[in-house]
Structure 1
Amino acid sequence: MSLQENKKKRSFRNFDEAAGHILEMLSKQLKINTLFIAKNDGQTNEIVKSRNTRKELIIEGSFLPLENTFCSLSISYGEAPLVIEDISKSKMTESLEIASQFDNGSFIGIPVYYEDGEVYGTICGLDNEPFEFTEEHIYTFETMSSLLTYVLELEKANNQIQTLSSPLVPVTKGLAILPVIGEITTQRAQTIIDHVLTKAGEKDLEYLVIDVSGVSQINTAVDEYLLKLVDILKVVGIAPVITGIQPFMALKVPHFAASLKGVLIEANLETALKQLGFVLMQNCPKNSGRL
């Protein structure tokens, strides 16, 4: 495998992909039946990622009340890893209804925190048979918890950057502009959609001008997201207007403009505003002789 291919394999687009890779690495060190990462909101526990070997003990994507999970014990235990080598004999699991399903199995778990100390969830190992945890295993879980915190903060920072790079700029009552700048990836396109829908609802818009003159890269997947945004805006009663479509976009995604049938498309922002009945006016000093 070349260095470039290796780098590509180790790059992650989001927390979900990184979480999957972390469980894969853990599974090579711990021969425990199940490894999983869970997220909770204080009431519900969601299994974000799971990896089972002999038997499916934890189902990815499943939900349970937090109070009825091993994760709740781990969070209550604090920052250190919680190790239960025999679930059937632990006083901590006596009131846990789900514990009866695991007999004399074993559990290890440690909370995953955001940088500000807020709990994201947990990273855990579980087996329905006895499992002996070594100091190395415990240290590895501590390390992976810290790594997940780092990944969470990176994703949060990236989302903030993506939002700031596509701000919704109010122009006047009922009208705003969305300048889209730089390379548009699939992830960024989805972030833009989420951001626009949130802000558009707050600003009671009639028109949203989407200016793509600053876009440097586009592909068919991103094209679908932009068309999705246009369709969603129509559904919620906001008239989309597209400006700044460049020649390379038409060449790379030839059906893009054709798919926008019925949508106002203008070469630039000024002509779009004129079509909507707005005129850009320059403020001039008094007595300058200019309007």
Structure 2
Amino acid sequence: MPLNGTRKMNDFRNFEDAAAHILQLLSQQMNINTLFIAKNDGQTNHIVKAINAEEELVTEGGIAPLEQTFCSLSIDYGEKPLVIEDISIDASAQRLEISSSFNNGSFIGIPIYRDNGEVYGTICAMDNVPFEFTEEHQRSLELMSSLLTYVLELESAQEQIQSLSSPLVPVADGIAILPVIGNVTARRAQTIIDRVLGKCAEAEVRYLVVDVSGVSQINSVVGEYLLKLVNTLKIIGVVPVITGIQPFMALKVPHFAEALSGILIEANLQTALRKLGFQLSNESKEKSGRR
């Protein structure tokens, strides 16, 4: 039975979403009790996604010492699928304490690699009764392992792109600029918020100029995210300054300007920085006058 999927690669929100879909595809081909994908750090094994048809042999979210799992045997075996037709008589399996729970069950597993060759984890199938793993099953697992490597690579590249697309540019002590450029989607807006808040804390930013002059598209959802960023900045003690608001933003998000009432809004970066410099000078003078 061929593996047929209807979703495109860019439909997946993240690796776990892709992992769940891949297990569903495999379950259509392999009439086996359990399919799962695990992640490990060399010490522990974490079950990322799992499907159990009847008996729950593997629990999604479960964590165990890597050396005491079948996954460790797959990793030691290498790039080809490790097939254990009968756990009760397999020498390598019998070294694991967990083997006593599987009687004469079956197991197949193959590592999932990152694009740099490091092991991410494994994709495996198992049952508590004998199961015949065909060559087609083995090829399918190899294919899915390669596909998951590709998904990991895409996810890593996307994270780098998102990081570059929301740079925090320091311009003076306590002052930084966040240039927002291009098409802002809801997902990207949330990424910007998550990254910027952490960077503001690390750099001890007191004034953040959010320049939206480079934004090409905006809608009400994205407008809400930008307002969320502004409000969250105020909560953590960072003074937000908005520059570059375009006329089309007011048309797309009618309440945008009204919601920014009380926030310093300037036409461009130059005037915003000049205004901040004036404020900071006054603050310095006031502090000096108190001494």
Deviation at 1:132, TM superposition (A): 0.9
Question: Are the equivalent residues in 2 in contact too, given 1:159–1:191 (CA < 8 A)?
Answer: no
Deviation at 1:260, TM superposition (A): 4.3
| Amino acid in structure 1 at the alignment position of 2:273 | L
Matched, 1:268 2:241: no
Q: Map 1:154-193 onto structure 2 (within 5 A).
A: 154-193=154-193
Deviation at 1:236, TM superposition (A): 3.7
- The residue that corresponds to 1:82 in the other structure is 82
- The residue that corresponds to 1:285 in the other structure is none
CA root-mean-square deviation: 2.6
Deviations 1:136-184 (A, max 9, x none): 1111111111111111111211221222122111111111111111112
Deviation at 1:13, TM superposition (A): 3.4
Q: State the distance in 2 between where 1:96 and 1:255 align.
A: 63
| Amino acid in structure 1 at the alignment position of 2:137 | H
Deviations 1:1-35 (A, max 9, x none): xxxxx677973233232222211211111111121
CA distance 1:52–1:215, change in 2 (3 Å)? farther
Deviation at 1:278, TM superposition (A): 5.5
Q: State the distance in 1 between where 2:218 and 2:103 align.
A: 54
Deviation at 1:240, TM superposition (A): 2.4
What SS does the corresponding residue of 1:155 show, helix, strand or coil?
Answer: helix
Q: State the distance in 1 between where 2:228 and 2:217 align.
A: 18
CA distance 1:171–1:19, change in 2 (3 Å)? same
Percent identity of paired positions between Structure 1 and Structure 2: 69
Deviation at 1:246, TM superposition (A): 3.0
Deviation at 1:224, TM superposition (A): 4.5
What SS does the corresponding residue of 1:162 show, helix, strand or coil?
Answer: helix
CA distance 1:76–1:169, change in 2 (3 Å)? same
Q: State the distance in 1 between where 2:55 and 2:267 align.
A: 59
| Amino acid in structure 2 at the alignment position of 1:39 | K
What SS does the corresponding residue of 1:94 show, helix, strand or coil?
Answer: helix
- The residue that corresponds to 1:243 in the other structure is 243
What SS does the corresponding residue of 2:88 show, helix, strand or coil?
Answer: helix
Deviations 1:40-80 (A, max 9, x none): 22223222222222233323333333233222222222222
Question: Are the equivalent residues in 2 in contact too, given 1:40–1:120 (CA < 8 A)?
Answer: yes
- The residue that corresponds to 2:206 in the other structure is 206
Deviation at 1:86, TM superposition (A): 1.8
- The residue that corresponds to 1:41 in the other structure is 41
Stretches of structure 2 lacking an aligned partner (at least 5 in a row): 1-5, 280-291
Aligned length: 274
- The residue that corresponds to 2:289 in the other structure is none
Report the more deviating stretch, 126-135 or 249-258: 249-258
| Amino acid in structure 2 at the alignment position of 1:51 | I
TM-score, structure 1 length as denominator? Answer: 0.82
